[in-house]
Structure formats: structure tokens, C-alpha cells
């Protein structure tokens, strides 16, 4: 006999949906350890920029994994029941909101720790970490609801993170060393990467003139709000795309 939609959940069951599990706690602990290590670098422009950059990469990986895990846990579990109870649109919004809340719980300890240890770098650290994590979180949801299996999803996700967070800037630096690429093109290329745009939004909090970027930094500094606008645009676009994908995916 076919079952109807799932019953309305009680307060205890709802609270359990937001509880951090083993992998979530491991990511939170790793970010805390990184925050401790980067706080130990000291104060000043260099240490804060280094802390924001390293933590941005780690937070983006954590966000990606959270998004992938949420997507596949639903797809392999109760997504059909949730959709039957809520409808596709409400389910898409609910899944995005609950995963975003879980990401906040994962990021909070490390962010608070660094802020307590290095108050002068707190804004740079928090901006880089939060924007990087949430941009990658929504990429993870998008990939998770697009890939045909968990294995493919994680393979594509980690490959994309490696390309965006590790390889992209190195390749761009190598290209500008040996090729006469205009400064405007380099600046545009940096902002075309959502992870880099998020990281630069944090770096700009500690280094407003973007001295660490040389001529490219001068150009971006003269363009006023181009970095935060780019980072916010990427975040909004990825969020909207993830919600639409979840709402329209045939599970």
C-alpha cells in the first residue's frame, strides 16, 4: 500500500536536521586548526593577507563538500518524500537554506577564534572565508543535483575546486610572466573566478590599495567597488542557479 506524504516533523526531529555530524565536525575542526596556525603568523599586512588567502581556499573546499553531501544525502534518501510534502519550489528553498545554516555552524568556530586572536584582521578573514565557502557551497549543490552519481559528483566537484582554488591563479601568474597580457585582461580574469573574487574581497579589507597585486591591484583599486560587486554577483548567481536546478531536477 502506497504511503502518503511524510508527517509534519516535531521540534526534536527538526533540530536533528541541523545538527553537525562527523564529517561536518571534522571540517569545522580543520578550519579551527588552520585559524590557530594563521593567527600565529602575527599581525600586519602580510600575515593577515596570508591568513585570508589560505583560509579562503580551505573554506571553499569545506563549502563544496557540504553542498555535495547535502545533495546526495537527499537524492539517495528522502528527497522524494520532501518534495511530495513541500512541492519542488519550497523543497529547493528549504534545502538551500538548511545547508546554508549548516555551513554557518561549520565556519563560526574558526571565524570567532581568528577574530578573538587577531581583531585587526577579523574583517578580512571573515569576508574571505564566508564568501568563498558560500560560493562553493552553492556550486556543490549545483553539481550534486546534476551529477548522475555520488562518485561522479565528488570527482567533478574536487576537480573544479582544484582548478579554481589552486591551479587558476598559478596558471594566470605563469601566463603573465611570459606573455604580454594587458593589465585589464588580468584583472578581468581574476574576477571571472568566483573563488578568487571572494578571496580578493577579503584581501581588500586588509590591503585596501591591493599592493600585493602590483599593477593589477592599482587598477582594481581605482575601480572602487568592482571586487565586492563581482564577489556578490557570483554568490547571487550561484545561489539562484542552485535553487533553480534543485527545483527542476527530476529525481
User: Does the pTM exceed 0.85?
Assistant: yes
- Are 168 and 193 in contact by the 8 Å Cβ rule? The answer is yes
Q: Find, among 55, 19, 53, 15, the residue nearest to 36 by Cα.
A: 55
> Residues near 202 by Cβ (< 8 Å), separated by ≥ 6?
52, 56, 124, 125, 126, 127, 128, 129, 131, 132
**Residue entry with cell 545561489:** 239
Cα 104–chain centre separation: 11
For residue 220, the model assigns a pLDDT of 86
C-alpha 146/C-alpha 66 separation (Å) is 15
Q: How many CA atoms are closer than 13 Å to the CA of 135, on its beta-carbon side? A: 31
Q: How many CA atoms are closer than 13 Å to the CA of 213, on its beta-carbon side? A: 28
- Are 147 and 68 in contact by the 8 Å Cβ rule? The answer is no
**pLDDT in 10s for each residue of the chain, 251 residues:** 333 444 444 444 444 455 677 788 999 999 999 999 999 988 888 899 999 999 999 999 999 999 999 999 888 876 677 777 788 888 899 999 999 999 999 999 999 999 999 999 999 999 999 999 999 999 999 999 999 889 999 999 999 999 999 999 899 989 988 888 898 999 999 999 999 999 999 999 988 888 878 888 888 888 768 999 999 999 999 999 999 999 987 76
**Continuous H helices in the chain:** 11-17, 22-39, 45-75, 79-86, 88-117, 122-144, 150-161, 168-178, 183-191, 194-206, 215-222, 226-248
For residue 224, the model assigns a pLDDT of 66
Amino acid at each position: 500500500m502506497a504511503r502518503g506524504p511524510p508527517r509534519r516533523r516535531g521540534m526534536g526531529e527538526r533540530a536533528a536536521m541541523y545538527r553537525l555530524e562527523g564529517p561536518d565536525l571534522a571540517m569545522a575542526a580543520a578550519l579551527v586548526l588552520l585559524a590557530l596556525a594563521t593567527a600565529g603568523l602575527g599581525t600586519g599586512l602580510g600575515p593577515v593577507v596570508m591568513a585570508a588567502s589560505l583560509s579562503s581556499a580551505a573554506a571553499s573546499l569545506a563549502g563544496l563538500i557540504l553542498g555535495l553531501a547535502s545533495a546526495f544525502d537527499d537524492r539517495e534518501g528522502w528527497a522524494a518524500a520532501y518534495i511530495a510534502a513541500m512541492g519542488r519550489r519550497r523543497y529547493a528553498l528549504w534545502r538551500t537554506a538548511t545547508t546554508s545554516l549548516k555551513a554557518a555552524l561549520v565556519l563560526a568556530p574558526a571565524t570567532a577564534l581568528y577574530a578573538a586572536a587577531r581583531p585587526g584582521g577579523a574583517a578580512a578573514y571573515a569576508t574571505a572565508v564566508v564568501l568563498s565557502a558560500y560560493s562553493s557551497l552553492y556550486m556543490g549543490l549545483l553539481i550534486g543535483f546534476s551529477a548522475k552519481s555520488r562518485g561522479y559528483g565528488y570527482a567533478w566537484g574536487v576537480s573544479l575546486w582544484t582548478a579554481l582554488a589552486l591551479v587558476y591563479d598559478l596558471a594566470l601568474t605563469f601566463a603573465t610572466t611570459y606573455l604580454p597580457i594587458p593589465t585589464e585582461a588580468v584583472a578581468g580574469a581574476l574576477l571571472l573566478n568566483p573563488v578568487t573574487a571572494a578571496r580578493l574581497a577579503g584581501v581588500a579589507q586588509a590591503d585596501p590599495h591591493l599592493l600585493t597585486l602590483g599593477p593589477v591591484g592599482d587598477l582594481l583599486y581605482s575601480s572602487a567597488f568592482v571586487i565586492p560587486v563581482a564577489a556578490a554577483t557570483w554568490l547571487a548567481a550561484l545561489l539562484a542557479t542552485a535553487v533553480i536546478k534543485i527545483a527542476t531536477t527530476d529525481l
